[in-house]
């Protein structure tokens, strides 16, 4: 099976009441760690690349690693641009083999967001590439921009946005946020399920995306803290909330921070237990195993997409 776009994946996920994991990739160990987990559990997957990941690892390297994963596993894999910041970047990714792009116009006015998203959709659809748009704005750090406060999605805008742009999926802001420090210590994690429900009522059958959806699993944070790190205040989205979202209209759940935390925990543990090691294959190998472990955990405990690769 070649790379796929997100159309079929989302249709099945919506009908099946589960979500597809969209995991950020930056290097070979991360790609392999994710794909090994998906292969073992027969899970469809979205591998996503941010603008800064593309600069770091370079397009050809990431693209060919993802193609190797497709060839090795035969899994349905979509290669997605995360937080596309311009038409030009989206076009470049479409022209060079991505099967899905996000155009993130969430910081623009409603009309400007529509105009930019529509332009990307027209180009993408002519190339069989699916497009994710965003309405509302998440808090947190993303591509060096720090957004202080969530601007919740206004459900009253979603039908007009989707019909005027033609987007295939929509990211909404309901209280998730980017990074590992999503809530202040003592603050009760809360998501606005009322907004998600209203969006669902207004857009029946339409796939919704949750960014900033890492759970910040204590098992990994504890290892980081035990071995010299300082992540005491890290707080993520409770898993039961993500499960609830996945059973509703949310078909794509974005995870980056949980991968970063797991890999860092694995590497810190490795060095603490093997202070004489200096072969990158040894510590990166343990980092890769930690990625596989956390992705399996996500598939089984949050996403519910195990076994759906070849439905
Ligand atoms: O939402 C942003 C992702 O976590 C990607 O982060 O731009 O540091 O690669 P990055
Ligand atoms: P996290 O920081 O919660 O992993 O979110 C990642 C994300 O939304 C990538 O677009
Ligand atoms: Zn994001």
Mutate to test the pocket of ligand 2, among 22, 255, 295 (most ligand atoms within 8 A of CB): 255
Residue 238 pLDDT? 98
Q: Give the span between the Cα atoms of 30 and 122, in whole angstroms.
A: 32
Residue 142 pLDDT? 67
Q: Give the span between the Cα atoms of 260 and 247, in whole angstroms.
A: 26
Q: Is 169 in the pocket of ligand 1 (CB under 6 A)?
A: no
134 CA to centre of ligand 1 in angstroms: 16
Ligand 2, residue 237: give the atom nearest the CA: 3
Residue 145 pLDDT? 65
Residue 143 pLDDT? 63
Q: Is 84 in the pocket of ligand 2 (CB under 6 A)?
A: no
The torsion angles phi and psi of 227, rounded to 5 degrees, stand at -105, 40
What does the DSSP 8-state code read for residue 237?
-
Mean pLDDT, the chain cut into blocks of 10 residues (311 residues total): 95 98 98 98 98 97 98 98 98 98 97 98 98 94 74 97 98 97 92 98 98 98 98 97 98 98 98 98 98 98 98 91
Residue 236 pLDDT? 98
The ligand minimizing its distance to the Cα of 56 is 1
Q: Give the span between the Cα atoms of 163 and 50, in whole angstroms.
A: 26
Can you give the length of the chain in residues? 311
52 CA to centre of ligand 1 in angstroms: 7
107 CA to centre of ligand 3 in angstroms: 13
- Domain edges within the chain: 7-303
Q: Give the span between the Cα atoms of 68 and 198, in whole angstroms.
A: 41
Q: Is 211 in the pocket of ligand 2 (CB under 6 A)?
A: yes
Ligand 2, residue 180: give the atom nearest the CA: 2
Superfamily of domain 7-303: Aldolase class I (3.20.20.70)
User: DSSP string of 159-174?
Assistant: HHHHHHH--SEEEE-S
Q: Give the span between the Cα atoms of 304 and 80, in whole angstroms.
A: 21
The ligand minimizing its distance to the Cα of 237 is 2
Q: Give the span between the Cα atoms of 98 and 59, in whole angstroms.
A: 10
Residue 1 pLDDT? 77
Which residue owns the Cα nearest ligand 1 atom 8? 143
Q: Is 256 in the pocket of ligand 1 (CB under 6 A)?
A: yes
Which stretches within the chain are classed as H helix?
7-16, 28-41, 51-57, 59-73, 87-95, 110-125, 158-165, 193-202, 218-226, 239-247, 257-273, 280-298
- The residues that are catalytic are 82
| Burial of residue 300, with CB atoms counted within 10 A of its CB: 0-12 exposed, 13-18 middle, 19 or more buried | middle
Q: Is 20 in the pocket of ligand 2 (CB under 6 A)?
A: no
Q: Is 178 in the pocket of ligand 1 (CB under 6 A)?
A: yes
Least Cα distance to 92 among 47, 127, 116, 135 occurs for 127
What does the DSSP 8-state code read for residue 128?
T
123 CA to centre of ligand 2 in angstroms: 26
Ligand 1, residue 51: give the atom nearest the CA: 7
Query: Structure tokens of 145?
Result: 């921009």
| Burial of residue 2, with CB atoms counted within 10 A of its CB: 0-12 exposed, 13-18 middle, 19 or more buried | exposed
CB atoms within 10 A of CB 1: 12
Dihedral, CA of residue 229, residue 234, residue 240 and residue 244, to nearest 10? -120
Q: Is 256 in the pocket of ligand 2 (CB under 6 A)?
A: yes
205 CA to centre of ligand 1 in angstroms: 28
């Amino acid at each position: 099976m070649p790379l796929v776009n997100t159309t079929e994946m989302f249709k099945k996920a919506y009908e099946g009441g589960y979500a597809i994991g969209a995991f950020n990739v930056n290097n070979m160990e991360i790609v392999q760690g994710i794909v090994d987990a998906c292969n073992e559990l027969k899970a469809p997957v979205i591998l996503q690349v941010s603008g800064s990941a593309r600069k770091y690892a370079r397009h050809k390297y990431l693209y060919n690693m993802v193609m190797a994963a497709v060839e090795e596993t035969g899994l349905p894999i979509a290669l997605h641009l995360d937080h596309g910041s311009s038409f030009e970047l989206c076009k470049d990714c479409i022209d060079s083999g991505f099967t899905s792009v996000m155009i993130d116009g969430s910081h623009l006015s409603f009309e400007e967001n529509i105009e930019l998203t529509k332009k990307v959709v027209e180009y993408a659809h002519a190339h069989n590439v699916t497009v994710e748009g965003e309405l509302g704005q998440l808090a947190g750090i993303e591509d060096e921009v720090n957004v202080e406060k969530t601007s919740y999605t206004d459900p009253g805008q979603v039908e007009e946005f989707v019909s005027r742009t033609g987007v295939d999926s929509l990211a909404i802001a309901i209280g998730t946020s980017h990074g590992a420090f999503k809530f202040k210590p003592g603050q009760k994690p809360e998501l606005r399920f009322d907004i998600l429900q209203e969006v669902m009522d207004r857009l029946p059958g339409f796939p919704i995306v949750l960014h900033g959806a890492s759970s910040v699993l204590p098992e990994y944070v504890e290892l980081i803290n035990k071995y010299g790190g300082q992540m005491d205040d890290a707080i993520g989205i409770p898993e039961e909330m993500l499960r609830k979202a996945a059973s509703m209209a949310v078909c794509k759940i974005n995870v980056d921070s949980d991968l970063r935390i797991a890999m860092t925990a694995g590497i810190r543990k490795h060095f603490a237990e093997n202070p004489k090691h200096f072969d990158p294959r040894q510590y990166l190998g343990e980092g890769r195993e930690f990625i596989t472990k956390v992705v399996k955990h996500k598939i089984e405990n949050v996403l519910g997409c195990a076994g759906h690769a070849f439905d």
